[in-house]
Amino acid sequence: MTGRPGIDTPDHRGRTGLDRAGRGLDRNPDVRIRDVELTSQGWHVLRRTTFDYRRRDGRWETQQRETYDRGDGAVVLPYDTGRGRVLLTRQFRYPAYVNGHPDGMLVEAAAGLLDAEDPHTAIRRESEEELGVALGPLTRVLDAYMSPGSVTERLHFFAAPYTPSDRTGAGGGVEEEGEDIEVLELPFAEALAMTRDGRITDGKTVLLLQWAALDGPFADGRPTTGPSVTERWRRGPAPRPPSSGCAEATR
């Protein structure tokens, strides 16, 4: 019998056993997993799971769900309360473009997949790659499933201070991975207004900006205004002071 890539022989990423995810789940007594089928494996994995589900009236029924597994991720909102600024990105997102966005160029908070890293390490790496900045102490905001009807990803939300002296490079992402990311430094008041008028439509970014206004660094009346013109993060990195070795903050 010929081996099946991703199941009993390695696929193009060296993975096997992709059809086993979820088979042993028993945390919910009202759900019994019956079968897991691997329907597609590209860079990420699509599965079809058959399970028995006990409804609230006690009846059991068999259901099927397709799940898209791309791993978990992390996202961060860098902020400078002294100047009333935040750092965001703009990049092309084909799924948004094919689903009605005018040009697919979305303004977002910097984010990325964890791969084999912990959330803190991953988001610091992403910030240096995408934004060209070394973050200050990370504050954990929350964890959330952004599309739980079909996508398994759990997203870890963070915020962190930065200053112009924290520049480490130009940012822009990893060209070899197809990234072409524009770095935007915006007055916080303008970024928040963009969530209201439709210029920012990315869910994770809307959530972080609302948090910053309600419970975060701009919730206590600190400066949120600045020039109305969007500033691009173009200047070269400034010399960095020695690391203070501050521990990560949590909420």
pLDDT of residue 52: 98
Neighbours of 144 (CB within 10 A): 15
Q: Is 46 helix (H, G, I), strand (E, B) or coil?
A: strand
pLDDT band at 178 (very low <50, low <70, confident <90, very high): confident
Question: What kind and span of H or E run contains 91?
Answer: strand 85-92
What residue ranges in 100-149 does DSSP mark as E strands?
105-108, 110-113, 139-145
Count Cα atoms within 13 angstroms, Cβ side, for 95. 2
Q: CA 201: distance to chain centroid?
A: 14
∠ CA 175-137-129, nearest 5°, is: 5
Q: What is the pLDDT of residues 195-218, one digit of tens each?
A: 999 999 999 999 999 999 999 999
Helices (H), the chain: 94-98, 119-126, 188-197, 203-214
Q: Please write the tens of the pLDDT for every residue from 100-123.
A: 999 999 999 999 999 889 999 999
Tens digit of each residue's pLDDT (9 = 90 or more) over 11-53:
766 777 778 888 999 999 999 999 999 998 777 899 999 999 9
The more confidently predicted of residues 153 and 251 is 153
Q: Residue 86 in contact with residue 191, Cβ under 8 Å?
A: yes
Specify the pLDDT at position 2.
63
Q: What type of residue sits at position 157?
A: F
First and final C-alpha spacing in the chain: 53
pLDDT of 234 > 50? The answer is no
Q: What is the mean pLDDT of the chain?
A: 87
Confidence band (pLDDT; 50, 70, 90) for 245?
very low
Q: How many C-beta atoms lie closer than 10 Å to residue 206's C-beta? A: 17
The predicted pLDDT at position 103 comes to 97
Give the side-chain half-sphere CA count within 13 A for 237. 15
Q: Is the pLDDT of residue 226 over 90?
A: no
Reported as a pLDDT band with limits 50, 70 and 90, residue 229 is: very low
